[in-house]
Structure 1
Amino acid sequence: MAQRGGTRGAKGVAWSAVDLAPVVLIKGPEGLLGDRALDRLRAQALAADPHTERTDLTAAGYQGGQLDMLTSPSLFGEPRLLIISDLETMPDALLIDLLAYIGHPAPDVWLILRHGGGTRGKRLLDAIAKAGYPVVNADPVRNDRDKLELVHADVRAAHRRIDQRAAQALVDAVGDDLRSLAAGVSQLLADVEGEITVEDVRRYHSGRVETSGFEVADAAVTGQTARALTLLRHAFATGVDPVPLVVALGMKLRGMAKVSVAGHISPGRLGMAPWQIERARRELHGWDDRSLSAAISAVAVADEEVKGLSRDPQRAVEKAVMAICRLRGDRS
């Protein structure tokens, strides 16, 4: 079992450096950094014991005494990973139970807490830090230096290279949205061979276009028909060209397909970072080989249509988005 504590600066430990402990707090509103920290901790738990039992709990739905039940000794003795999200919405019952728990954590239990920001539960957050448990910094990233490091880290994880000017051009194009920045890196890794250059970034990225494209793709592959179509129409209304929208849809589905057939192959051989593989696995929920193949075919048709075979390229993209949502199942 891990011991308390861990190296931590005044602003907390980075997501890429956090290690499992009886209690880990992920603090801040930046979802991408929080997700990556959680992915890292989950991977560590499974590496320690593949039979680790995972339980997810939303703070707002907590009932008094539930923490004791979830952390009590298991019948079969397997370690447990308990994840409590949205801690900023916690009721008083959870606050009281957690304050008692952190002083005497249960053996063979990894407790990961996610707090999206605000002052709710400040007493608990201070107590966790004072006890020496790791606190992951998931605050918004505003400066270019940290955004550039994110770009370079993702490229290195895929065993690839990106020119410094290209990395800066990508940061300049995407802005402050880290999820869009990560998606932009993923697209370049999928579509460009060899070192990524500034010309590649200029060809594929124009900030607003790629942001909208990946938002549409994210909504479509999770079956959010109304959101996907609303985003798509907004993209067209603001001047987004159909071609990069189809590129974003194709990249998303290709990544899912690679993960679907690869099993537990190493991330480096897939050309994807571990967090990208974990996300693709989540997005594969509700898909099978037949539906995924049909979705890829629909995007291939759209790709031909937006490049000259159709008199209405926007309608071609809309048909592809609707096909993907239908194949996934409408979850709007």
Structure 2
Amino acid sequence: MKKSKLLLFMLVSAFILILAACGGDDSSDGNTSDGGDKASDGEKDYGVKYLSILTGGTQGTYYPLGGTFADLISTETGVKTTAEVSQASAANMTALQNEEGEIAFVQTDIAYYATEGTEMFEGQPIDTVSALGALYPETIQLVTLADSGITSYEDLKGKKVSVGAPGSGTYANAEQLLEIHGLSIEDDIVAQNLDFGESTDGLASGQIDAAFITAGYPTGAVEALNATNSVNIIPVSAEKAEELIAKYPYYATDTIPSGTYGLAEDVPAVSVLAMLAVKKDLSEDLVYAMTKAIYDNTDKISHAKGSLIKAETGLDGIGIEVHPGAQKYFDEVNN
């Protein structure tokens, strides 16, 4: 009797061990909860888990657009994508080089300087970044108060003028426009290195006479200034615009329409373009999918600049290498 009970106990124990072993094997083979190394059913595995879009300050245009782009890319590719606050163009190019993000907003001129190793990137070219696509114009606005007495670039001589931080896109724009008009930052004006908000505050208080602001119009900081002080935008003549573009081909002619900031007439101006840059080592399939997610869904962009983002102009003004994935998309839709 004792032998029978012992035998039964041994059989039951062996059966339990076999069940446990089978259950452990099933769990091991199907485990995908360790960060998603395996793509979910129906989703393509692009080899990355997350993407970061480097934008700019929260009060600018890049940040809200970046949030929309992040949502579109996440939805269309299945890769979780987030928009990150940053110091904008020049800092974004350096951050991509340092692998602190995968996608970034940048001005076309800054992207060109970075890849060529000129201006603020003198002697330190960035060779790990390529273009995804152009977005919309960023107008160089020389802002003054209507009663300042300043009506032309020549009137800036001896005046206190905000030109942006050294090394910024605005600073380079200011330097080149002043040069075309026969002026220099060092010798002909009293340069002030202020951001957009500080510039408009300085104009309102009388601490500065004019300010360069490179941004899509209408720019919030300038609109806020115009709410309390009538503003004026100094024009760039067709002749000077042509001269500027001949020397710096990443510029384009632009017009700030009447009614903007209460302007009575259209103001001729010049602009660079906002664009998206990406790390070169992102796969062709992924960049194709990201490009398609943005340019096929521009009707879902609620920001005012969304109407200017079009596949047919996606390669305009770009002076750097285009990522093969983006080039594939634009070849498909534009041919």
Q: Same fold (TM over 0.5)?
A: no
More helix by share: 1
Q: TM-score scaled by structure 2?
A: 0.27
More strand by share: 2
Higher relative contact order (CA 8 A, sep 6+): 2
